[in-house]
Amino acid sequence: MTARSAFIARCGGVFEHSPWIAERAFDSGAVYDPLRAGAVHAALCAIFRQASRDERRDVLLAHPDLAGKLAVAGELTEDSKNEQAGAGLDRLSAEEHAEFTRLNTDYMSRFGFPFIIAVKGLGKDDILADFRERISNSEEEEFQTACAQVEKIARLRLESILPE
């Protein structure tokens, strides 16, 4: 296995279903040994920020709805499943699930991508409060907020697989 393929195998999934970010970071020369979470995160985020708006939107679209149909069907990535379970989103009451479903639908129709939040350390009530607040953001404000949350999720995922 080449150093490039090993890096992509290890870090290619930290941006949901978007290994191209890790590929471009490695190819740019911004990734070097020893791999450290902070340095790798900086390299990956630089690529993400340089990407076209359509490419960044595609990364947003790669994220699942919170407590949505993929979660119910058991089709989340392992990272997403663990993150949502850690926030209690796998143990919602029928009423809470209905509210998440309604908010997911309203948010998607307003912004064109799913609501994204780094759920680590948050509970379902925290997430719902943020959901209710952010749904009134402008389209540009929410695009920037969602991108920042994607970067935060990537950082948390890197911290779980690489030393600081």
- Any idea which residues carry the catalytic annotation? 63
Give the CA diameter of the chain.
50
90: amino acid identity, one letter: D
- Rounded Cα distance, 89 and 96, in Å: 9
- By the 10 Å C-beta count (0-12 exposed, 13-18 middle, 19+ buried), 52 is classed as exposed
Does residue 163 have a cis peptide bond before it, meaning omega lies within 30 degrees of 0? no
Do the Cβ atoms of 154 and 18 come closer than 8 Å? Answer: no
CA angle, corner 114, sides to 7 and 155, nearest 5? 35
